[in-house]
Amino acid sequence: MSEMSSMADDGLALLAWAVRQGKQVPPELSGELLAAPDQLADLDEGPKKEAFYSAIQRLTALLQTSPAEIWAEKQREARLAQQVVDAQQLLSYAVANGKEINAGVRKALVESADALMRGSLRAEGEDRFLQAYQELTKTLAPVTSETLEASRTRFPKLALLLTHPTEFVSGLAVATGGRFLHSLFFVCVLVVTGFVLAYFAVGSTTLARYDEVIQIAQMAKDSARTKQLAVLGATRALETARAGTEAELEKAQAELDRTKDELTQSEVTLKETDAEMIGLRNRLTTWIKPICGMVGMAGACGSEDRPASTLVFDAQVIRDQLAQIMLPMLLGFLGAHTFVLRNMSLDISKRSFAPGSSIHHMIRLFLGAMAGIASGWMLKPETIGLLSSAPAWTLAFIAGYSVELVFSFMDRIVSAFSNKPL
């Protein structure tokens, strides 16, 4: 920009400032300065250039301000405009919520906003405004203008999706629907965790019952063999008693009948346990089928016609994988998600929800899942004040809710080996 063009802009700035301040400008001065931008080539001539300079000097003296001061004022207005809006927003919040604000601070902020609107905010006014704004933010902390905006609920206008798609996409940047998606995702994780827990309980209970039935069957087999020997002994005793008295014969017959009844009962128990074991194996086959059908899990399962021992082993492997990895991870993730939603709710209710919290929340969820798995490696219920009989899943959930619990324990381990406090 040439010097004369810059001077012409200075003249227009002086005229605009005079209008804003309600100052009267002589017509000959305003005419000279308004015409200057269209006559830049002619202003290089001596007489016209001199007249233009004279008009600038006369108007500067009349208004008692200079173009440099006006341009500095414009820059100040551009710099403070958003901060003044933010300060007014915080004042409105304080008044609406009964927050006590110093009268001098409130007055300085209101006067600064008025001066900015009138275009008369000077350097000393800027300094007074910044001091008052600083005091206001200290009083209302952690609430700020940013947290007030972030705590508002704003949905995208679906009607714009068809009529003005560009505006709709732009509106997504400030929409807060992600909070509701966060809650929906939490419900999904909760439901999935519930299903996995129920699935695990079915398999774990079936395997436990299968072990019990095997023991019962073994005891029935041992009892049947013992009773068979007893029947043989009672039969021989009956044969011997036939040569004796009637009373001895009746006693031997009664003993034989008793041992036969006991043998029959053992055989019935054995048949019942065999039938129950077949049913339990069928249940285990059905239980592991969804896992065996998953991509990448087929190698963990035997063939369809595998023997009972292999079937039970496959079921035990799947049960241990669920107990040691999947369920602790899900419950740790669920605990971390509970922590995130709880704090999000508190921050929104207190109008202190920080913008850009999504990344922090995602990291917290991932750490919670990892803490849930690690809790089974390093922590015991009594370590954190729980009863030793507390369910194993309780520890994983608590570790996910408070990931600091696991990581502080890890820090102590590292510190013990490195001799460096963390």
Q: What does pLDDT average to in each consecutive run of 10 residues of the chain (422 residues)? A: 76 81 81 78 73 81 82 82 90 88 90 83 86 91 84 70 70 63 88 94 94 91 88 85 80 86 88 91 89 60 73 89 91 94 87 81 92 82 62 84 84 75 52
- How far is residue 155 from each of residues 168, 170, 187, 218, measured CA to CA in Å? 11, 12, 21, 67
> What's the first-to-final CA gap in the chain, in angstroms?
59
- The whole-number pLDDT of residue 295 equals 43
Q: Break the chain into its structural domains and give their ranges.
A: 3-65, 70-172, 186-316, 324-418
Provide the token pair at 331: 């419950």
pLDDT recorded at residue 192: 94
- Tokens for 50, please give them: 């001199």
Would you say 36 and 8 are in contact if contact means Cβ atoms under 8 Å apart?
A: yes
Q: How far apart, in whole angstroms, are the C-alpha atoms of residue 406 and residue 305? A: 44
Q: Compute the distance between CA of residue 79 and CA of residue 133 in angstroms, rounded to an integer.
A: 14
* Structure token digits, residue 265: 């009962």
Question: What is the rounded CA–CA span in Å between residue 120 and residue 16?
Answer: 13
CA dihedral 382, 388, 394, 395 (to 10 degrees): 40
| 208-258 residue pLDDT tens | 999 999 999 899 898 888 888 888 888 888 888 777 788 888 888 888 888
Cis? peptide before 47, omega within 30° of 0:
no
- Count the Cβ atoms, other than its own, within 10 Å of residue 150: 20
In the chain, count H helices and then E strands. 16, 0
How many angstroms separate the Cα of 44 from the Cα of each of 52, 298, 369?
Answer: 10, 90, 76
pLDDT in the model for residue 131: 93
Q: How many CA within 13 A on the CB side of residue 276?
A: 17
Q: What SS3 class is residue 349?
A: helix
Give the distance, in angstroms, between the CA of residue 9 and the centroid of all CA atoms in the same chain: 54
Helices (H), 173-241: 177-241
Tell me the Ramachandran region of residue 64: left when phi exceeds 0, alpha when psi lies from -120 to 50, beta otherwise: left
| CA 244/CA 258 separation, integer angstroms | 21
Which tokens in the block code for residue 319? 């049960």
Q: Are the C-beta atoms of residues 33 and 11 closer than 8 Å to each other?
A: yes
Q: Which amino acid is at 214?
A: I
C-alpha triplet 160, 163, 166: angle, nearest 5°: 65
pTM of the entire predicted model: 0.69
Cis ω before 67 (30° cut-off from 0): no
Cα separation of 118 and 110, whole Å?
13
Q: What is the Cα gyration radius of the chain?
A: 44
| Assigned CATH class of 186-316 | mainly alpha
Q: Coil, strand, or helix at residue 362?
A: helix
**CA distances for 136 relative to 103, 320, 347, angstroms:** 11, 57, 19
Which are the contacts of 33, defined by CB distance < 8 A and separation ≥ 6? 8, 11, 12, 14, 15, 52, 55, 56, 59
Cα–Cα distance, 148 to 349 (Å, whole number): 10
Dist CA 330 CA 318 (whole Å)? 16
Q: Could you please report the per-residue DSSP string of 394-421?
A: HHHHHHHHTHHHHHHHHHHHHHHHH---
223/384 Cα distance (integer angstroms):
48
Count the Cβ atoms, other than its own, within 10 Å of residue 29. Answer: 19
pLDDT at residue 200, rounded to an integer:
93
